[in-house]
Amino acid sequence: MHQPIGMRPYILRNSSERQFTFHTINADRYSQSTNLQYLHIHFQMEKCDLTSAEISRYSRQLILPQFGVSGQLKLRSARVLIVGCGGLGCPAAVYLTAAGVGTIGLVDDDKVELNNLHRQIAHSESTINMSKVHSLADRCMRLNSTVNIQIHEIHLDNTNALDIIKKYDVIMDCSDNLATRYLVNEACAVTGPKPLVSGSALRLEGQMTVYLTKRILSTGEMLSPNKLPPESRAPCFRCIYPVPPPKGSVHGCSEAGVFGVVPGIIGTMQAAEVIKLLTGIGDVHTGKLFLLDVERNLTRSVKLRGPRPNCPVCESSELNIDKPLTNYVLFCGAPSCDKPRTMNMVMNAHRITVQQLKNYIDSELSHLLIDVRPKVEFDICHLKSSINVPLSELFRDSVISEIRQIMDTKISKGAVLPFPGMYIFGSMIIL
């Protein structure tokens, strides 16, 4: 019998004779409705626990040999917490919602701003000034109303992290600061350990890895990291970074900038790792760090060191759920948010107001106004009478000498200085 190109075999079970009947389906007539019809028959005979609507919604991943019904059921019963509803958390939440994860928790206390929208794609102009957790929850519910979205509109700290994290199976670190990363890592170690899928994005680069993963033995027994030999275990965040970097050496998106698609790529990869963890598909990216450089079109994976024998988090026998977590704001010497902070470097007596500055400029008195922001910000907008000397260069001897020469020239021409010396005014310095 002639078999046209593209014929597809399909198997149906004959429940009365306990035999398999082979059906050949012509690919030219293999429509979407036919595909779903056969899926329904097959799953019904196997007494599938998925509803007809779920089979229709998730059909394209159900037919993956590695996934199947069992994978979908695992997702439906899973609970995933996303810490941070920004550039990383938005794509992660959307893809986990689309995949059918049963319960998704969202943690953030920030509100949507206009400058978020170039990278935080689940938010929109209509949700500006709305809390990010509610904005993201609305987006997810419009995509898949069967998913249970839990909203935690709070600032995560060492007093509340355990109570929230202990309710979930897998944790996603989509935060934007070191203090929160250390905190979430310790909470995951104490409450599980629970797998921690961590991502970061800055400028044109991104990173992603999985900490504190569990391993499945050939016998089917699942062991947590602290019961495995050191060579077989994944490190925690504190193993890799036992001490925080020097204060002021780490910059966030508001200072260093970020290419919008980078957090989208990393957040999506985090979602993929979560699905793999929950379903057992493929190799989880643990013990390795994925690196992305979109400027040079490079990706690579580097091996991480193993757990530190003296790690105070994953190797400590003193940590338990009844003890308070470390205050990582003090540990890092930096706040647990990426918001720009007001500078309080001088006394009020040595400050001038915006109106006072305007009066000096309007009076046409000779003065020197130095803008200490980075050059890229200065180029976006600046006052006409200002010169740009980035703060990182301000205290170099050559720069100070040049500024003094300018001051001497202006003073010789009758400049009126409001205060003796140099004083910081917001992002600027008045001489």
Phi/psi of residue 100, nearest 5 degrees: 95, 25
What are the C-alpha distances in Å from 268 to residues 92, 99, 194, 214, 353? 5, 12, 20, 22, 45
47 belongs to a structural domain: yes
The verdict on 259 and 160 lying in the same domain is yes
Instruction: Say yes or no: 130 and 184 in one domain.
Output: yes
271 φ, ψ (degrees, to nearest 5)? -60, -40
Full DSSP string of 252-307 = -HHHH-B-THHHHHHHHHHHHHHHHHHHT-S---BSEEEEEETTTTEEEEEEPP--
In 334-384, beta strands by DSSP E: 369-371
For residue 30, give the amino acid letter. Answer: Y
Strand, coil or helix: 140: helix
Q: How many domains does the chain have?
A: 3
Contact indicator for 169, 102 with CB cutoff of 8 Å: no
Backbone angles phi, psi at 87, to 5 degrees: -60, -35
Q: Would 86 be classed as within a structural domain?
A: yes
290 and 410 both lie in a single domain: no
- Are 262 and 205 contacting, i.e. CB atoms less than 8 angstroms apart? yes
Quick one: tokens of 358?
């305007």
Say what the pTM is. Answer: 0.70
Contact assessment for residue 158 and residue 326, using Cβ atoms and an 8 Å cutoff: yes
Same domain, 278 and 149: yes
Q: What is the 3-state secondary structure (H, E, C) of 35-53?
A: HHHHHHHHHHHCCCCCCHH
Calculate helix-pair angle for 68-76, 261-279, nearest 10 degrees.
Answer: 110
CA torsion 336-340-346-347 (nearest 10°) is -80
Among candidate residues 290, 158, 307, the one with its CA nearest the CA of residue 224 = 307
Residues 236, 293: one domain? yes
Q: Going from the first residue of the chain to its last (431 residues), give the mean pLDDT of each consecutive group of 10, the final group possibly shorter.
A: 44 39 46 54 62 95 94 96 98 98 97 96 97 98 98 94 95 94 94 93 95 56 49 81 79 83 98 96 92 96 90 76 80 64 49 73 72 81 80 71 75 53 41 41
Domain co-membership, 43 together with 120: no
Domain that holds residue 102: 73-332
User: What per-residue confidence (pLDDT) applies to 20?
Assistant: 41
Residues 99 and 97: their CA atoms lie apart, in Å, by: 5
Residue 2 within any structural domain of the chain: no
User: Which DSSP string corresponds to 378-412?
Assistant: HHH---TTEEE--HHHHTSHHHHHHHHHHHHHHHH
Residue 73 has which token pair? 């059921």
- 3-state secondary structure at position 16: coil
- Counting every residue, how long is the chain? 431
User: Nearest Cα to 38, choosing from 54, 58, 59?
Assistant: 59
Instruction: Please check whether residue 343 lies inside any domain of the structure.
Output: no
Residue 1 lies in a domain: no
What CATH number does the domain containing 371 carry? Answer: 3.40.250
Q: Does 190 reside within a domain?
A: yes
CA-CA distance, 431 to 424, in Å (whole number)?
A: 9
252 to each of 22, 57, 209, 221, 327, how far by Cα in Å?
59, 38, 19, 41, 21
Return the pLDDT at 47.
63
Residues 184 and 215 in one domain: yes
- 103 located within any domain: yes
Integer Cα distance of 171 and 178 in angstroms: 16
pLDDT value at residue 369: 80
> Residues 172, 258: one domain?
yes
pLDDT at 409: 74
**Domain end (from 44, 63, 82):** 63
Q: Which of 300, 332, 364 is the last residue of a domain?
A: 332
- Whether 357 and 321 share a structural domain: no
Maximum Cα–Cα distance across the chain = 108
If asked whether residues 90 and 48 sit together in one domain, one would say no
Contact 174, 270 (CB under 8 A): yes
CATH, residue 256: 3.40.50.720
